[in-house]
């Protein structure tokens, strides 16, 4: 309501464009995406209640989604070069084995390399399991 008053928007006649402007104002004010999601949820519920009470024919906030602002560096945890080198140093050397054991060692190293370089999750590796 305070934002509507500051912008000269009558909440009773607000449009989807007004709700999008409100969302943009929250983003510009550097609110967290989770906070924006909560605020937009309240706006949606407010207009849904107004619609149910017969005060509005529509809910202008229905199609307005909260922003998905993600920082890949924060979301994706990865091993640094030193950590990765240490991990590879404990994998048994395939060249020091023969037969099925060599194949197992090669497979293990390949799977760890795929996980490290392409961000595979353990469940993806597990589902790709092939018995030797």
In a domain, 120, yes or no: yes
Q: Tell me, yes or no, whether 94 and 121 share the same domain.
A: yes
Pick from 79, 88, 83, 92: nearest CA to 119: 79
**60 closest CA partner among 8, 12, 1:** 12
Residue 68 has pLDDT above 80, yes or no: no
Over residues 84-99, the mean pLDDT reads 90
Is pTM beyond 0.75 here? no
Q: Which domain holds residue 28?
A: 2-69
Looking at the fold, whether 27 and 64 belong to one and the same domain comes out as yes
Average pLDDT over residues 21-50: 92
% of the chain exceeding 90 in pLDDT: 51
Mean pLDDT estimate for the chain = 87
């Amino acid at each position: 309501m305070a934002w509507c008053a500051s912008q000269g928007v009558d909440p009773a006649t607000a449009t989807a464009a007004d709700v999008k402007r409100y969302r943009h104002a929250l983003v510009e004010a550097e609110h967290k995406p989770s906070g924006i999601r909560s605020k937009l949820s309240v706006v949606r519920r407010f207009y849904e209640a107004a619609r149910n009470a017969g005060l509005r024919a529509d809910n202008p906030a229905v199609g307005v989604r909260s922003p998905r602002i993600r920082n890949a560096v924060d979301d994706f945890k990865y091993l640094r070069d030193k950590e990765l080198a240490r991990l590879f140093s404990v994998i048994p050397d395939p060249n020091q084995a023969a037969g099925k054991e060599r194949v197992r060692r090669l497979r293990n190293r390949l799977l760890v390399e795929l996980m490290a370089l392409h961000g595979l999750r353990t469940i993806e590796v597990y589902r790709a399991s092939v018995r030797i």
